[in-house]
Amino acid sequence: MLNKLLRTENDYGTLVARLALGIVMFPHGAQKVLGWFGGYGFTGTMTLFTGTVGLPYPVALLVVLGEFLGSIGLIVGAVTRIAALGIGSVMAGAILLVHFPNGFFMNWSGTQGGEGFEYHILAIGLALLLILRGGGALSLDRVIACKAGGDQ
């Protein structure tokens, strides 16, 4: 079972997708957990998510950890499918709970009431690719799977 979860081809296109999604998502997770890049940090984010947004604490915790640990998992290629599922789920939830009323486009001109969901669609697309294909080349998943089940 673990070998099926980690199995991935030596695919450099998947590596690019994995790194792109992981690198883009890391600052968002770091805002929520560490307070970096102008974020609220863990306590502030959890207060926002449970109070203002109305998420139950366990769901808010999964969102915060999914974004932070998921991005790190993608960058190093560890449990890529699970990390991508977490990030894809967070992006789908963000569309449904926050961004859908603002329309498709991001708020480039500052005239909308908030951000649209075009960015989230791209993140979900990359996440789906990684769920289907795994971590690709230069991933810890590949190293572990190769050692467990022979060279792929």
Q: Tell me, what's the pLDDT at 132?
A: 96
> pLDDT category, 95, cuts 50, 70, 90?
very high
Tell me which amino acid residue 91 is: M
What phi and psi, each to the nearest 5 degrees, are found at residue 24?
Answer: -70, -35
Q: How many CA atoms lie within 13 A of 122 on its CB side?
A: 14
Distance CA 135, CA 127 (A): 11
Q: Report domain extents, the chain.
A: 2-149
- Please give the model's pTM, rounded to 2 decimal places: 0.91
Q: Which tokens sit at 132?
A: 């289907």
What phi and psi, each to the nearest 5 degrees, are found at residue 110?
Answer: 80, 15
pLDDT average, residue stretch 79-102: 95
**Cα-based distances in Å from 50 to 55, 147, 151:** 5, 43, 46
Closest CA to 151 of 1, 3, 18: 3
Tokens 């940090």 correspond to what residue? 41
Tell me which amino acid residue 48 is: L
Q: Is the pLDDT of residue 150 over 60?
A: no
User: What sign has the CA pseudo-torsion 123, 128, 131, 132?
Assistant: negative
